[in-house]
Amino acid sequence: MAQPSERVQEMMRKFEEQAAQAGQLRERMQEIKGQGRSADGSVTVTVAPSGAVLDLQLTASATRQPHTSLQQGIMTAIREGTQDAARQVDETVQPVLGDRAEQFKSALNAHSPAPPTAPPSGSTQRVDPDDDYSDGSFLR
């Protein structure tokens, strides 16, 4: 039977190991950036695991498209980038957390905005040029 001090030392060792793994996981998560591109390649986005768009690049041909085509290209690129980031999160988290990976992803998704959805085919969606898309920001 192990002595109480040995059990405490073993618990501390496990705690320190888990803390080190958590720190490494956090560093890897901060490095994850998903990439997405429109079907014609005129729109490229970089997306964080939270779904936040970090970068949006448009080619010259993108600005010559009808606004609905450009809108669909942007939304497609964002969806692809979000899916790419989610895949990278899975690949990063699974080896470290094992059985707890699903619980971690659920917690992560609870704090992330829902990914954008495409408008129905053939429909037009009005874009307000004065909207800052920040859900109630005072910065207008």
Which structural domain, as residue segments, surrounds residue 67?
30-93
What pLDDT is attached to residue 132?
Answer: 46
Task: Examine residue 126 and state whether it is found in any structural domain, yes or no.
Answer: no
Task: Examine residue 19 and state whether it is found in any structural domain, yes or no.
Answer: no
What pLDDT is attached to residue 14?
Answer: 87
Task: Examine residue 81 and state whether it is found in any structural domain, yes or no.
Answer: yes
Maximum mean pLDDT: which of 47-51, 64-68, 102-106: 64-68
Question: What count of residues does the chain have?
Answer: 140
Average pLDDT over residues 69-90: 94
Structural domain tally of the chain?
Answer: 1
Burial class of 69 by CB neighbour count within 10 A (0 to 12, 13 to 18, 19+): middle
Task: Examine residue 121 and state whether it is found in any structural domain, yes or no.
Answer: no
What predicted TM-score, i.e. pTM, was given to this entire model?
A: 0.62
For 1-140, strand residue ranges (E) read: 34-37, 43-47, 53-58
The domain that holds 65 is classified in CATH as 3.30.1310.10
Task: Examine residue 46 and state whether it is found in any structural domain, yes or no.
Answer: yes
Q: What is the mean pLDDT of the chain?
A: 80
Q: Show Cβ contacts of residue 26 under 8 Å, excluding neighbours closer than 6 positions.
A: none
Task: Examine residue 43 and state whether it is found in any structural domain, yes or no.
Answer: yes
Average pLDDT over residues 23-48: 92
Task: Examine residue 135 and state whether it is found in any structural domain, yes or no.
Answer: no
